[in-house]
């Protein structure tokens, strides 16, 4: 293993660090869950922190689902019920908040390249949108020419107050062309959820493009720079600061990516910890150090969240139901474990 300046954390050393932190911000994928499965041991750490009266915030870059849906997912995976919609931040919520705060008129609509998560959050604010879902090329072009020279836009330029871009599996040339044309109106905002290049999946040999390539395509075609709200960018941090009163020096960002989670923490003065249970590894920290990308070198790193829980706590938490069973079914007297 490469030697890096980041400090390795286990349950013992974490016990010292935890007293210096009031707020823990967790990334979700690769930290709290992996796809649809719980990250073993992570619910135990969240419980431990809540018992210590720490504030727990979940900050994901995934905008495909709303915060309410993520809260349900956390509960289904066995996380503490105290972590609800109000503890979660995702780019969909920040996009909706950004649009609301921008003074987007109620008569203006949003051209949306994105999925249900953004729709739910826009609905919460009563913001009108259109364009989501399939928009096949065949509906706009008969195939007689190589290029599509004209496109029928559903809305007048002046009625479209923003183009919002995120992950959208129906993204195609028609959507790109519409977005680029709406953005020719300088007053039309260009807001993007996140710029993650790829997202993790069950087969590490399959590349799964995330929102980043879609945001980039619209950027190049329109000549416009987006306001990107997700990690590592500032809108997500400002959103958190508006929702909670946090002291950055006593806040720790824990994630599995150096270029989003760690950079987000470093850029905003937070303590940072990389967990090796997801995307990036110690080699990546070493490479960032070599390239002098100190904004992507965490203060700490750990195997996973479960490794930060003292083993006696794990055995109590994991074996609680087993112990009860043992007490009621024991043939021999129950002896507490050391
Ligand atoms: Mg992650």
Domains of the chain: residue spans and CATH: 7-61+232-321 (3.40.50.1000), 97-228 (3.40.50.1000)
> Is residue 57 classed as helix, strand or coil in its secondary structure?
strand
Would you write out the chain's pLDDT as a tens digit for each of its 338 residues? 568 999 999 999 999 999 999 999 999 999 999 888 999 999 999 999 999 999 999 999 999 899 999 999 999 999 999 999 999 999 999 999 999 999 898 899 999 999 999 999 999 999 999 999 999 999 999 999 999 999 999 999 999 999 999 999 999 999 999 999 999 999 999 999 999 998 877 788 999 999 999 999 999 999 999 999 999 999 999 999 999 999 999 999 999 999 999 999 999 999 999 999 988 999 999 999 999 999 999 999 999 999 999 987 655 444 444 433 333 333 333 333 33
Cα-to-centroid distance, 86 and ligand 1 (Å): 20
Cα-to-centroid distance, 311 and ligand 1 (Å): 25
Q: What's residue 314's pLDDT?
A: 57
29 marked among binding-site residues: yes
Which are the contacts of 158, defined by CB distance < 8 A and separation ≥ 6?
185
Q: What's residue 323's pLDDT?
A: 36
Going by C-alpha positions, the residue among 37, 85, 23, 9 that lies closest to residue 306 is: 9
Residue list, CB under 5 A from ion ligand 1: 27, 29-30, 256
Cα 225-230-234 angle, rounded to 5 deg: 75
Cα-to-centroid distance, 338 and ligand 1 (Å): 36
On the 0-12 / 13-18 / 19+ scale of CB atoms within 10 A, 313 is: middle
In order, the DSSP letters of 227-241 are EE-STTSHHHHHHHH
Token pair listed for 120: 């739910």
Cα-to-centroid distance, 278 and ligand 1 (Å): 6
231 marked among binding-site residues: yes
Residue whose tokens read 């008569």: 107
Q: What's residue 332's pLDDT?
A: 34
pTM: 0.86
Residue 86: C-alpha distances to residues 56, 76, 81, 228 (Å): 10, 17, 11, 22
Q: What's residue 16's pLDDT?
A: 95
> Is residue 23 classed as helix, strand or coil in its secondary structure?
strand
Q: What's residue 202's pLDDT?
A: 75
27 marked among binding-site residues: yes
Cα-to-centroid distance, 31 and ligand 1 (Å): 6
Rounded CA-CA distance 140/245 in Å is: 50
Q: What's residue 338's pLDDT?
A: 35
Would you name the residues annotated as active-site residues? Answer: 27, 29
Cα-to-centroid distance, 329 and ligand 1 (Å): 42
Q: What's residue 311's pLDDT?
A: 85
């Amino acid at each position: 293993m490469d030697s890096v300046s980041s400090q390795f954390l286990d349950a013992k050393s974490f016990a010292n660090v935890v007293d210096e932190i009031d707020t823990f911000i967790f990334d979700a994928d690769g930290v709290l869950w992996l796809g649809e499965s719980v990250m073993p041991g992570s619910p135990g750490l969240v419980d431990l922190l809540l018992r210590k009266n720490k504030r727990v915030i979940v900050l994901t870059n995934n905008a495909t689902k709303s915060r309410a849906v993520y809260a349900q997912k956390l509960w289904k995976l066995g996380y503490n019920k105290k972590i609800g919609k109000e503890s979660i931040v995702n780019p969909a919520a920040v996009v909706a908040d950004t649009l609301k705060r921008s003074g987007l008129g109620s008569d203006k609509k949003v051209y949306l390249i994105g999925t249900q998560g953004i729709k739910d959050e826009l609905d919460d604010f009563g913001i009108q949108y259109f364009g989501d879902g399939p928009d096949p090329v065949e509906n706009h072009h008969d195939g007689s020419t190589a290029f599509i020279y004209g496109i029928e836009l559903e809305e007048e330029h002046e009625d479209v107050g923003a183009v919002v871009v995120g992950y959208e599996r129906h993204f195609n040339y028609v959507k790109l062309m519409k977005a680029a044309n709406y953005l020719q109106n300088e007053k039309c905002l260009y807001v993007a959820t996140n710029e993650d290049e790829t997202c993790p999946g069950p087969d590490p040999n399959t590349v799964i493009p995330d929102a980043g390539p879609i945001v980039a395509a619209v950027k190049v075609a329109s000549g416009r720079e987006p306001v990107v709200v997700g990690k590592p960018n500032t809108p997500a941090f400002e959103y958190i600061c508006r929702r909670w009163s946090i002291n950055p020096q006593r806040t720790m960002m824990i994630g599995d990516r150096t270029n989003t989670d760690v950079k987000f923490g470093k850029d905003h003065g937070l303590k940072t910890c990389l967990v090796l249970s997801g995307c990036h590894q110690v080699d990546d920290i070493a490479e960032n150090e070599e390239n002098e990308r100190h904004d992507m070198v965490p203060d700490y790193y750990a195997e996973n969240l479960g490794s930060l829980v003292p083993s006696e706590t794990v055995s109590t938490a994991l074996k609680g139901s087993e112990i009860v069973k043992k007490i009621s079914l024991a043939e021999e007297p129950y002896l507490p474990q050391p």
